[in-house]
Each structure stands twice: as structure tokens, then as C-alpha cells.
Amino acid sequence: MWMTVIDGITMAALLFIIAVGLNLSFALLRVANLAHGALYLFGAYVGYSVMSYTESWLLAIVVGGLATALLALLLEFFLLRKVRGDNLRETLVTLSVAIILADVMIVIWGGSPMSIPYPDLLQGPLIMGDVIVPKLSLFILGFAIVIGTLLWMLLNKTKIGMIIRAGVDDYEMVAALGTNIRLVFTSMFVLAGFLAGIVGVVGGSHLIVSPEEDWRILTYALLIIILGGMGSFGGSVVAALIMGMIYSFGSLYVPEFQLFLMFTPVALVLIFKPKGLFGRGLE
Amino acid sequence: MNQISKWIIYTIVALFLLAVPFIMSEFFTTMMVRVLYFSLMAVAFAFLASQIGLVSLAIPAFLGLSGYTIAILETREIMFFPYSAMAAIVVVLFVSAVFGIFANRSKGIYFIMLTLILGQIIWAVARQWASVTNGVNGLIGISTPDAMQFNVFGANVGFYYVILFTFVLIVWAVLALTRSSFGMKLKGIRESESRMIMLGYRVSRLKWVAFVISSLVAGIAGVFFVYFVGVMHPSAIDLDSSAMVLIAGIFGGVYSIIGAVLGMSIVQTLEVVLNAYTQRYLIIIGIMFLLVVIYAPKGLMGLIYKNKYMKSLYDKWYKGRKDS
């Protein structure tokens, strides 16, 4: 029972970092970045390579994040800017990039599932009273809390965050007031890519790294965004927790309908509150 | 181009299509069947995209639904053709009716995301519900019904003819639908949803009906798919197939149903040709898709419609007026 709850929280922590980056870039750029799952997987594979060369997990996380951020920069700068303003074409560009990237990754790293080894320090369980917690789960939870706090501070306590929040509400007005909104767009997209990359390495240690994992992760992230509401930070936290719990309890009790169950809250939300639990309804 | 030459061209095309099993190789005929059932999916996609401007990624899910229904019923010997096919269509109608309610609550990119999720759910059920769908191993051993296996002049052309006639009938019906008052209302929704609501049309019901029609076409494609291939596997309905339908639709031009058929023929031909050289042909198709999206957003039909005669045809079919 406890084990399942902990598993759920761990999954929720991972999904939160993935979804929050996607959510922010989505709310700001109005681009449903369908390449986000592929970016996650790319980060995981880069992390795997760095890990097998240098044996340093922290370096793997940093390099995985930076490589993915660079890829996101290229995607935004050379492709998305060409079709800026047309939501459908922007989404199709990200989809084609996702397809190309998925196949390129199979060419480079092969199709067999692998797992990123993580340091001995995080191996094994931690026993607290009658609760047994894997150290890696604890690390992932802490990791998500740190990143969540940093992001929250960036959004709510800094001038950059003010511009971003204003951009979410009305980016044309922000641009008219003299902010270089294109630079903000690019940096948010790169930040989202960086988050996808680092969580790719961490998630690759906890879960498996294999082709098709990109679409699975993307589906979870999209479910969380729709459930929590577009552009809502708190919504992402709550929705990630709900999804993580359904994920772990579903795989324990009804493994055959686990993903189907994950859809239920989304269906309910769409019926009763189409903007999501905490969404302000961006259009 | 006058009426007579138009009919001459139609007759030549029809005769050629009918003669394919006799004058072309078996490989070509097989390829034609494959293109035809995939084109039905492209038609389903293009109907939604061109009429209401909704880009759906859930089209292969409905192919999967009807395919899996037939496969499950026949491998467990519960029902056989034609009852299994009827059951499959009923299942498709039911599920698309439910999905349509959700899908109606969104538009634009939200619709893409939602249909992506809906499609992934069907895929996940097909993959995870191992006791019924046999999971990743898939269901094998579905045989083509006798009704689709008649001979003409000693050649086994039954399947090809059945799918060809169904295909022509469906394309004709869908094109007729786009010119009907129903199609006009849908185009009104595409141009301005709020105005259509203001004019008193039941917009969400119209969208729902369009969604169900599109799913029905995809479901019929599934019937042919499962009887032709004889195997039902989750990979038939994964995101790569959704992307393939989308790519075909964009290649041909989002606002054209004929274009989608053309696009699907190109994509399928490319897939077979490239497959001979490399397993990773998706890279090439993906890059071509990217180039089309960035540099030729209206697709192939956009180029064809630059021709004046074709442009008038386009206006007649898709905008409902004879001269622009």
C-alpha cells in the first residue's frame, strides 16, 4: 500500500517537471509542442551516453539537459519562427520534428530498451519506521520540489516572471509595451526543453528508456495539462499528483486498463469544467 | 474542357482501375488495395479537416476499433462475416458518438491534443488488455470472407473489386455531402463558429455528426484492413499511423478530399520504395512533411488549384459557388 503511494508520488514528481515545462511554453507560445516527448527521450539517451563514458550521474543530468535545450533552441529558432502565428502549422512542425527525432534516435542508440545506471548513493531503500522508501524516489521527489520552487520563484518573484505571466495573458500588449517578446518566447521554449532533458535522465534511471516511450510521456503530459488547465502552475501540480496516483494504483490493481483509467478524470473535467481544474481558459 | 472530354477521361480512368488485376502485376494490385484502405482513412481525415477545419489524430483509432472487433469476434468464433463487420460498425459508431462529445468541447490545437489522447487510449487498451486483444502479440488468423473472394475470368479479383467499389461509393458520398446543405453548414462553422451559433444553428450537434461520419469512414477502412492483412496488431493504430494519415492529408492539401487520396498514394508508394533501402524511412517522410508544412502549406492540391479550370472545380466543390 505505502509502496504504491510512494511509487505514485515519484511518478507524479517526474510527470510534473515534464508537464510544467510543456504547459508554460504552451500557454506563452500557444504551441502544442508535440516534440516534447521526443525531447524527453533525447535527454534520456544523451544522459545514457554520458553516463557510460564518464560514470558521473550529475554530469549526465546536466549534459542531457543542455543538449536537449540546444535542440529546443534550434527547433524554435530555425523552424518554429518560420511559421510563427499559425497555430496549426506550428503544431505540425513540432509533430514532424518528433517523428524525425524518434527515428534518428533509433538509428543512433538502437531500439532495445535500456536503463540509465545511477550512483550507489541512491541505490537501495531507506527505512523510516515501517515505511520503506527507495532512495531514488526520495531524490526524485526532492528534485521535483526544488525545480518546482525555483520555477515558482522565477514566475512570481522576478521581473522576467512578470513578463512571462503578462505574456501568457496578452503577448501582443507586452510586445507593444517594448518587451522583446520573441526573445522571451525562445527562452521559455529552451527552458521547457532543458526541463524535459534533465527529467529525461532522471526518469530514464527510474523508468526505462526505449522507443515509444516518447509518445507515452507526451500523452501523460498532455493529460496533465488538460486536467490541470492550460498555463496554470498549481493546476500542473495537482493534476500530476492525481495522474501519478492513478498510474501506480492502476498498474497494481487493474493493469489492463491503467491508461484507460488515467483518462477518466480528464473526461470528467472536460464534461464539467472544460477549462481544466485551475485553468483560466486560454483561447 | 467540355463535358464530353470529361466523361471520356472518367471512362478511361474507370476502365483502367477495373483492369488493374489483369494488366498489372500482383504486387501492384496488392499495393492498390493497400492504398485504397489507407486512402479511406485519409478521406475520413480530410473530411474533418476540410469541412470544419479540425485536424484529428484519432482516425486510425477507429480503424483499430473495427479491426479489433472483427478480429476478436472471429478468432473466438462468436460471429462471422457479415455479422462481425456489422458489429464492428456498431462499435465504431458507439465509441465515436461518445468520443465526439468530448472532442466537441475543443477546437484548433486543443482538438489535436484531445484526439491524440483519445487515439492513444484506444492504442493503450489494445496493448494492455491482453486477455482480450492478446496485447503486443496481436490477433492472427482472420481469413477473408468468401463473399470477397469471387473470381472474374479466372483471376481472384474479388477483394480488389469490393474495396474499389466501396471506395468509389464512399468518396462519391463524402463529396456529395460536402456540397449538401449539411456540408455548407460545416464550412460555415469552419469560417466562423460564433456567427453560426448566432444564426441559430446547432453547432455542437453538427460537429458531432461530422465527427461520427468521419469515424464511420475510418471504421469501414478497418473492416477491409483486417480482412486483407489477416492480423490485428497494436502497431497498426499507434501514433506513427496517425502521423501517416496526417502527413498524407497535409501532402495533398488540408482543404481537399481528393488531395488526401493523392497524398496517401504518394506516402504509401514512398514507404514501400524506401523500405527496400532502409528501415528508417520515417526520417525521409518526416523531412518531406516538414518541408511541405513550411514551404507549401496548401500541399499538392494547392499547386494543382493554381490551374484556372481546377480552381473553378475547387470553388464548385468546396465553396459552393460556381465562379469565384
Chain B residues whose beta carbon lies within 8 Å of the beta carbon of residue A93: 290, 293-294
Does residue B26 lie within any of the structural domains? no
Give percent helix, percent strand, percent coil of chain A, each to the nearest 5: 80, 5, 20
What is the pLDDT averaged over residues A204-214? 84
Taking the C-alpha atoms of residue B138 and residue B133, their distance in angstroms, rounded to an integer, is 7
For the cut 90, the answer to whether the pLDDT of residue A67 exceeds it is yes
Please tell me the least confidently modeled range out of B165-169, B237-241, B298-302.
B298-302
B23 within a domain of the structure (yes/no): no
Residue B3 lies in a domain: no
Does the structure show a pLDDT above 60 at A228?
yes
- Identify the pLDDT of residue B31: 85
User: Which of A79, A96, A243 best probes binding to B when mutated, by most B CB atoms within 10 angstroms?
Assistant: A96
Compute the mean pLDDT over every residue in chain A, rounded to the nearest whole number. Answer: 85
Residues 214-253 of B with CB under 8 A from A: 238-240, 243, 246-247, 250
Q: Residues B161-205: pLDDT tens digits?
A: 888 888 999 999 998 888 888 888 888 888 888 888 888 888 888
Residue A283 lies in a domain: no
Q: What's the gap between Cα A189 and its chain centre?
A: 12
- Domain containing residue A187: CATH number: 1.10.3470
Query: Nearest residue of A to residue B239 by CA position?
Result: A215
Q: Does any CB of chain B come closer than 8 Å to the CB of residue A251?
A: no
Residues of B in contact with A31 (CB under 8 A): 109
Share of chain B above pLDDT 90, in %: 9
B108 and A88: CB-CB below 8 Å? yes
pLDDT digits (tens, 9 = 90+) for A135-171: 888 888 898 999 999 988 888 888 888 888 888 777 7
Q: Is A74 on the interface with B (CB under 8 A)?
A: no
Residue A44 in domain:
yes
pLDDT at A283: 41
Q: Do A100 and B286 touch (CB under 8 A)?
A: yes
- Number of structural domains in chain B: 1
Q: What CATH number is attached to the domain comprising B41?
A: 1.10.3470
* Probe site for chain A from B275, B293, B294, B295 (most A CB atoms < 10 A): B293
Host domain of residue A92: 2-272
Question: Within a domain: residue A282?
Answer: no
**Using the beta-carbon criterion (under 8 Å), do B290 and A82 form an inter-chain contact?**
no
Residue B31 in any domain: the answer is no
Query: Residue A279 falls within a domain, yes or no?
Result: no
What tens digit of pLDDT does each residue of B143-153 get?
777 777 776 66
Q: Model pTM? A: 0.84
Long-range contacts of range A128-135, CB-CB < 8 Å, 24 or more positions apart?
A: A130/A2, A131/A2, A131/A6, A132/A2, A132/A3, A133/A6, A134/A6
Structure-model confidence comparison of residues A272 and A204, the more confident one = A204
How far apart, in Å, are the Cα atoms of A116 and each of A6, A56, A61, A203, A205?
21, 11, 11, 9, 5
Please list every residue in chain A whose beta carbon sits closer than 8 Å to the beta carbon of residue B116.
Answer: 34, 218-219, 222
**So what's the pLDDT on residue A39?**
92
Query: The complex's ipTM?
Result: 0.80
Minimum mean pLDDT among A221-230, B15-24, B120-129, B166-175: which range? B15-24
Confidence of residue B313 (pLDDT cuts 50, 70, 90): low
Query: pLDDT tier at B254 (50, 70, 90 boundaries)?
Result: low
Chain A: closest CA distance from residue B109 (Å): 6
The tally of domains found in chain A comes to 1
Q: Report the SS3 class of residue B151.
A: strand
Q: State the pLDDT confidence band at A282, using cuts at 50, 70 and 90.
A: very low
